[in-house]
């Protein structure tokens, strides 16, 4: 199985400072709908982890893809799955939305 590299929220913002406005990068949030009610990033694409295998066709293999969850553990599994299935530019968001709240935007609730 291929292993996707990790990227921190700070590295993501340094590498793609306008990621929220760009069409060439996707932040894929794989958390459950209940988790989105607690904290979310507006411009993220949401596909729950369990639905990834059946909805993978919704993702573009040629775009950089950052996979996130709450802490980075579930997104690690999904990022590795995608890397093993032809996604060459897939990254795991280290620390997930919790790290995003600590490093980038403290207005994002932590849970």
**Active-site residue numbers?**
69
Beta strands 26-29; 6-7: pairing state? unpaired
Q: What is the DSSP letter of 9?
A: H
58, 99 in Cβ contact below 8 A?
A: no
- What the block records as the tokens of 49 is 């982890």
**Is 26 exposed, middle or buried, given 0-12, 13-18 or 19+ CB atoms closer than 10 A?**
buried
């Amino acid at each position: 199985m291929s292993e996707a590299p990790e990227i921190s929220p700070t590295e993501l913002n340094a590498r793609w400072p306008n990621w929220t406005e760009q069409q060439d990068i996707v932040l894929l949030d794989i958390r459950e709908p209940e988790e989105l009610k607690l904290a979310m990033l507006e411009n993220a694409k949401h596909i729950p982890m369990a639905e990834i295998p059946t909805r993978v066709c919704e993702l573009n293999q040629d775009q950089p893809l950052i996979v996130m969850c709450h802490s980075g553990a579930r997104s690690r599994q999904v990022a590795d799955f995608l890397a093993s299935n032809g996604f060459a530019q897939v990254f795991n968001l280290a620390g997930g939305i919790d790290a995003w709240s600590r490093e980038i935007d403290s207005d994002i609730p932590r849970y």
